[in-house]
Amino acid sequence: KKLSIKSSSHSYPVYIGENIRFNLSNLVRKSYSSFLIITDENVGGLYLDDVKQSIGISDNIHHVVIPAGEQSKNIQSFYALHTKAMEYGLDRNSLIIALGGGVIGDLAGFVAATFMRGIDYIQVPTTILAHDSSVGGKVAINHELGKNLIGNFYSPRSVIYDVTTLHTLPLKEIRSGYAELIKEALLADQELFQDILQTNLDSLSNSKLIEHLKKGIHIKAKIVEQDERETGSRKYLNLGHTLGHGLEAELGYGAITHGEAVAIGLLFALYVSEKEFSNNLAFENVFHWFHRNQYPLHIQNMDVNALLDRMRLDKKTLMQRIQMILLKKISEPQIMEFDNYKLEQYITGFISYLN
């Protein structure tokens, strides 16, 4: 079961399967001088040994375990990982293995993109959310002032998605990952959208999950192949992220998960879409689904102007005007620019609706 993604520099396969973490050495085709596995404390405790053993027996297999969570996606970890790479003697023929969720994927990918001006890396995603982050080649770290503002486009050599690892995910992380799946469904797949609305996350079956993940990856792959460097249609993948990223930075990284922030951001995008296009889109349905599945949807004591300042740092902002992705209807996204006043009105109205 293999999908191939075209990027400007090379094509890379996405393998999806059960227990394929034990098969790494066969799936990684090239030979490398050494390996650096980057993972976090949670994932390391569960899967580091499997991955190490599956690469082979060699004293050239190193690892670094960093604290779990969004707070690790920063310049300090980035620098410390470079230091480790040098101390372990990595060279231009070394491979970095990103073993974990989107935080590890983005951080380890950015280290790979910059170490000695760029070395190979592979993604070994272990969260539902990382079906999204491991594909498409965006790598980044956060700045205090804004999310993902330091980064690059740098594609992995392969993505090895062992869906068995998802069995150990806590419900909170299942929720978080489904926020990105709903985003993809809203952008491109009405049927997937309806199917997710029928799904209860606390009784999610393995086969349903894998079906949803494959569809999500397919949607993502198609969009990034069309517009790798986000000059046009890739911007649509930011649905829910203008407010979402603003919330993450304003509340402090890790206060809520990325997916929780995106869930609120998606609701806001639907709220504004319905006001702008005066249609009956999907706000109510999505709101109730999030509510039933116990997504945290309240926003307390928010300084709306501080939030707007964060949103202005978004990479879509042009000439100080904030851009949002809206939906005219499902599968029909559209970019719209807003002035401060209008957006402030919308945010204030939205927050009071939630609370």
Residues that bind ligand NAD (CB under 6 A): 40, 42-43, 46, 68-70, 73, 100-104, 106, 126-127, 129-130, 132-133, 136, 138, 148, 165-166, 168-169, 173, 176, 180, 257-259
> Which amino acid appears at position 215 of this protein?
K
Q: Closest separation between CB of residue 348 and ligand NAD, Å? A: 26
| Cα(221)–Cα(171) distance, integer angstroms | 26
126 is in an annotated binding site: yes
| Cα(48)–Cα(141) distance, integer angstroms | 23
241 is in an annotated binding site: yes
Which helix (DSSP H) or strand (DSSP E) does residue 151 occupy? strand 146-153
Query: Is the distance from CB of 147 to CB of 248 less than 8 angstroms?
Result: yes
**Per-residue DSSP letters for 43-104?**
HHHHHHHHHHHHH-S-TTEEEEEE-SSGGGSSHHHHHHHHHHHHHTT--TT-EEEEEESHHH
Strands 35-40 and 61-66: parallel
Q: Closest separation between CB of residue 282 and ligand NAD, Å? A: 21
1 is in an annotated binding site: no
Torsion-angle region of residue 53: left (phi > 0), alpha (psi -120 to 50) or beta? Answer: alpha
Q: Is 70 or 120 the residue whose CB approaches ligand NAD more closely? A: 70
DSSP annotation of 202:
G
Q: Is 259 or 265 the residue whose CB approaches ligand NAD more closely? A: 259
Q: Closest separation between CB of residue 285 and ligand NAD, Å? A: 23
Q: Closest separation between CB of residue 89 and ligand NAD, Å? A: 27
218 is in an annotated binding site: no
118 is in an annotated binding site: no
Tell me which residue has its CB nearest to ligand NAD. Answer: 102
| Cα(277)–Cα(55) distance, integer angstroms | 53
Q: Closest separation between CB of residue 74 and ligand NAD, Å? A: 11
Q: Is 259 or 346 the residue whose CB approaches ligand NAD more closely? A: 259
91 is in an annotated binding site: no
Residues 6+ apart with CB under 8 A from 77: 66, 107, 141
Burial class (CB in 10 A: 0-12, 13-18, 19+), 293: middle
106 is in an annotated binding site: yes
Q: Is 48 or 330 the residue whose CB approaches ligand NAD more closely? A: 48
Q: Is 235 or 346 the residue whose CB approaches ligand NAD more closely? A: 235
137 is in an annotated binding site: no
Q: Is 259 or 322 the residue whose CB approaches ligand NAD more closely? A: 259
Number of residues in the chain: 355
147 is in an annotated binding site: yes
Q: Is 177 or 346 the residue whose CB approaches ligand NAD more closely? A: 177
| Cα(145)–Cα(348) distance, integer angstroms | 22
Q: Closest separation between CB of residue 135 and ligand NAD, Å? A: 7
Q: Closest separation between CB of residue 134 and ligand NAD, Å? A: 8
Q: Which residues are annotated as a binding site for NAD(+)?
A: 102-106, 126-127, 138, 147, 165-168
Q: Which residues are annotated as a binding site for Zn(2+)?
A: 180, 241, 258
Q: Which residues are annotated as a binding site?
A: 102-106, 126-127, 138, 147, 165-168, 180, 241, 258
